[in-house]
């Protein structure tokens, strides 16, 4: 029998591969072009680490409380797109390992989020899948020159 949450796990596993394929043709010698893409991928890696930390807290604690975080601001400085992709791959691998070890009951463990209210591990994983989808679409638009680079410069 397949893991009941296998579809979510598979979607998460696919993101680093899709990004690597999408970004393979980015000209690394053009720092201006790669800079915005690097920021988005670094953001994905940072959010990944945050969400995994929350999932681990939900498994270890009874109904932990999470403050809202400005996810647009969450990203560490990474010098190159290749390094950002490598970091995302590493972070995602750790998350997938964590998720594959969860019992079915673990997926339903709750937390209280400052703005969302009660959430489960499953809810956080679904949000991570949706977060990936939004940024994959954003990167496609950036590559096609159809979107202003993200994050926007402060005005």
Q: Looking at the DSSP assignment, which residues form a beta bridge with residue 111? A: 119
- pTM score over 0.85: yes
- pLDDT tens digits along 88-104: 999 999 999 999 999 99
CATH assignment at residue 134: 1.20.120.450
- pLDDT tens digits along 15-25: 999 999 999 88
Instruction: Please check whether residue 17 is in contact with residue 96, taking contact to mean a CB–CB distance below 8 angstroms.
Output: no
Which tokens belong to 36? 């915005």
Domain count for the chain, please give it: 1
Q: Is 112 a domain residue?
A: yes
For 47, the domain range is 6-22+31-143
- pLDDT tens digits along 93-140: 999 999 999 999 999 999 999 999 999 999 999 999 999 999 999 999
Report the distance separating Cα 43 and Cα 109, nearest Å: 26
Q: Is 133 a domain residue?
A: yes
Alpha helices per DSSP H over 24-80: 31-60
Q: Is 38 a domain residue?
A: yes
What is the residue-averaged pLDDT of the chain? 88
Q: Is 114 a domain residue?
A: yes
CA angle, 72 then 73 then 78, to 5°: 105
Instruction: Please check whether residue 59 is in contact with residue 122, taking contact to mean a CB–CB distance below 8 angstroms.
Output: no
Residue range 73-78: mean pLDDT, rounded: 71
Q: Is 149 a domain residue?
A: no
Q: Is 97 a domain residue?
A: yes
């Amino acid at each position: 029998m397949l893991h009941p949450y296998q579809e979510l796990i598979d979607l998460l596993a696919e993101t680093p591969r899709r990004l690597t394929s999408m970004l393979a043709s980015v000209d690394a010698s053009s720092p201006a072009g790669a800079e915005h893409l690097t920021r988005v991928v670094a953001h994905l890696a940072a959010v990944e680490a945050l969400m995994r930390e929350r999932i681990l807290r939900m498994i270890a604690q009874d109904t932990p409380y999470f403050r809202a975080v400005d996810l647009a601001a969450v990203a560490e400085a990474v010098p190159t797109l290749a390094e950002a992709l490598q970091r995302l791959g590493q972070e995602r691998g750790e998350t997938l390992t964590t998720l594959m070890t969860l019992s079915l009951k673990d997926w339903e463990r709750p937390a209280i989020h400052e703005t969302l209210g009660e959430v489960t591990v499953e809810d956080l994983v679904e949000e991570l899948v949706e977060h990936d989808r939004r940024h994959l679409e954003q990167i496609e638009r950036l590559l096609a020159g159809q979107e202003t680079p993200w994050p926007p410069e402060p005005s």
